[in-house]
A = this chain, B = another copy of it.
Amino acid sequence: MSLPFGPYHAVIADDHAVVRDGLRAILESIGEVEIVGEAENGLEAISLAKEKKPALLTLDAAMPLARGMEVFVEVRRWSPETRIIVVTGFTAKGHLADWIAADVDGLFLKSCKPDEMRRGFELILNGGAYVSKSVLSILEQESKIPSLTSRERQVLHLIAEGLNNGEIAERLSVSAKTVDNHRTNMMSKLDVHSIAQLIAYALKEGILDQSQQL
């Protein structure tokens, strides 16, 4: 496949050199793509994208210094022409749904076959959007887990940061009793019986990512 309006400038953002190399190989196998920079943390990714305004940015969802979503928002603001492709290791439905909702141009799991990635990247460079099959199959699964309301997610986030009911109540300007009710409802929805298990759930859902904590 040859692309119409190349060469396209691309930036790769991932904190793992070995992953950057894998992505570099895929991008280089597409004609008309020139890699103009690599970032190994979130802030570097933001400044590199602002500076180079590349046609394509491959973005890791979990990086040090700035989270993938923060990078995404910044790059969209300062370089709206850049096609942003998220490559994530998290397979949680909620996490993937967040990226779809953010209207990312491409969404792939790190476990994706390089072949599918390459074809997806080409489609995206041609102006399309592409979400990998593995992501779609996760999103299409009817989850047995009832989904949480946005307020509940908000509370879950703060619980996971180590705040107790009273502190969360203050932060959200509601009563501690309300926070307690949200927590209780979540635990009953999710069929867990302790804060520890609730946090384990939050992690699995990618609501927390382990590099950001403490």
On A, residues with C-beta under 8 Å from B are 15-23, 25-26, 40, 87, 89, 109-114, 117, 159-164, 192-197, 199-201, 203-204, 208, 210-211, 213-214
Residue of B nearest to A199 (CB): B199
Residue of B nearest to A112 (CB): B17
Rounded to whole angstroms, the CA-CA distance of A197 and B161 in the bound complex is: 6
Interface centre among A15, A19, A161, A163 (most CB of B within 10 A): A19
Q: Are A18 and B112 within 8 A (Cβ)?
A: yes
Rounded to whole angstroms, the CA-CA distance of A111 and B21 in the bound complex is: 11
Give A146 Cβ to nearest chain B Cβ, in Å.
Answer: 15
Q: Are A195 and B195 within 8 A (Cβ)?
A: yes
Rounded to whole angstroms, the CA-CA distance of A113 and B203 in the bound complex is: 29
Q: Are A200 and B199 within 8 A (Cβ)?
A: yes
Residue of B nearest to A197 (CB): B162
Query: What residues of B have a CB within 8 angstroms of the CB of A109 in the complex?
Result: 16
